[in-house]
Amino acid sequence: MSSHRLNVAALAGDGIGPEVMREAIRVLRAVEKRFQLSFQITEAPVGWAGIDAAGKALPDATLQLCRESDAILFGSVGLPDRDPTIPKEERPERAALLRIRKEFGLFANLRPVRLPKVLSHACPLRPERQGDGLDILVVRELTGGLYFGQPKKTEEVVEAREGSDSPRRFQRSIDTMVYTTPEIERIARVAFESARLRRRKVTSIDKANVLENGILWREVVTRIGKEFPDVALEHMFVDNGAMQLMLRPTQFDVMLCENLFGDILSDEAAALAGSLGMLPSASLGQTTGDRTFGFYEPAGGTAPDIAGKDLANPIAQILSVALMLRYSFRLEAAAVAVEAAVSQVIESGLRTGDIFNPAETGARKVGTRAMGEAIAAAVG
């Protein structure tokens, strides 16, 4: 597919980032060989690695590289125990992750949660609640809502007290939840279009019984839903959604959420898949022509406690490669090949520690590298 440019910025970041990124690149190289493609992969520091290398969580050169690339393959950033004196605006979560989301207009976050039948033991729910395995896609709005709404600040308040000379002083924090019609429309379309490729059901999550934002959300999603008569639409309050995930997760196909609700419910859904180490994600911007700029990262974070020990599960990072092939490069066959390779290796019994259960017959515990090598070999 020569019309596609295949420039990938690989930003491994902190904690387990570098070791899982190494395995993801190994798999990408295997894809390259099998499908006779050629990726230009350029690595650059981000997060604390960026601060150490260039004094900033998102060094200018790294940002520039991202601008020149077609997709960003991201590891993870943030080490809670490092240097608490650094101002919150400069910490990796805000200065790198949220900054990149906003900078590149990555409004659509897709988090596929899958629990294959063979990993049933890794799921905290009883087997009868797992059906034939779980398969949920959380579609999360990523550049609006409480994360970015203004005003956003903490201020000092001085309040006069009746009958007293000494005023009352306290602090007040304000976050603003704001959504516009176009923001809801575009994320709703992503959810409905995704559902068309799956089981054709969207459950839209809101808090329309309390929030103005919820009322607008529900109205707009209902209207957009009429453009997709072949997709079933259901609305659910967020508190009920959290409960239904525990009680009857098999009812969900696509869950459409605003930013904060999606943050919370995607972690809850992830727990059902047994391990955060299995979950990839794609953060997508607007498609122009045949180009969708995307940012691909595992959902699991930096896991500093196991970093550098060959213990981390590289599958989330590897499945993020599959999402990149699918959404940014439109290389569906290559994406499927990566996903099939992961399934094959799981079926064969290879397990990193997070998904290993000694009671499981035929399971063999391996490290990060061995898992990556097995998946790369299975790609062919």
| Shortest distance, position 158 Cβ to ligand IPM, whole Å | 32
Token couple for 217: 């959300």
Binding residues with ligand IPM: total (CB under 6 A): 3
Q: Does the footprint of Mg ion cover residue 141 (CB under 5 A)?
A: no
Q: Does the footprint of ligand IPM cover residue 206 (CB under 6 A)?
A: no
The entry of Mg ion, ligand IPM, none that residue 93 binds, CB within 5 to 8 Å by partner kind: ligand IPM
Taking alpha carbons only, the member of 31, 85, 98, 21 closest to residue 58 is 98
Q: Does the footprint of ligand IPM cover residue 93 (CB under 6 A)?
A: yes
First CA to last CA across the chain, in angstroms?
Answer: 20
Closer residue to ligand IPM (CB): 14 or 263: 263
Q: Does the footprint of Mg ion cover residue 263 (CB under 5 A)?
A: yes
The entry of ligand IPM, Mg ion, none that residue 346 binds, CB within 5 to 8 Å by partner kind: none
Which residues partner with 141 through β-bridges?
A: 108
Q: How far apart are CA 168 and CA 220, in angstroms?
A: 43
| Shortest distance, position 59 Cβ to ligand IPM, whole Å | 19
Closer residue to ligand IPM (CB): 263 or 354: 263
| Shortest distance, position 314 Cβ to Mg ion, whole Å | 20
129: CB partners within 8 A, 6+ apart: 247, 248, 249, 250
Closer residue to Mg ion (CB): 28 or 97: 97
| Shortest distance, position 263 Cβ to ligand IPM, whole Å | 4
Q: Identify whether the C-beta of residue 216 lies closer than 8 Å to the C-beta of residue 187.
A: no
| Shortest distance, position 111 Cβ to Mg ion, whole Å | 9
Upstream peptide bond of 127 is cis (omega within 30 degrees of 0): no
Residues 244-303 that bind ligand IPM (CB under 6 A): 263
- Residue ranges of the alpha helices (H) in the chain? 17-35, 48-54, 60-68, 92, 99-103, 181-196, 212-225, 238-247, 259-272, 315-327, 332-347, 368-379
The entry of ligand IPM, Mg ion, none that residue 97 binds, CB within 5 to 8 Å by partner kind: ligand IPM
Residue nearest to Mg ion (CB): 263
Catalytic residue annotation: 147, 207, 239, 263, 267
Buried b (16+ CB within 10 A) or exposed e, 171-197: eeeeeebebeeebbeebbebbbebbee
- Binding region for ligand IPM (CB under 6 A): 93, 97, 263
Residues that bind Mg ion (CB under 5 A): 263
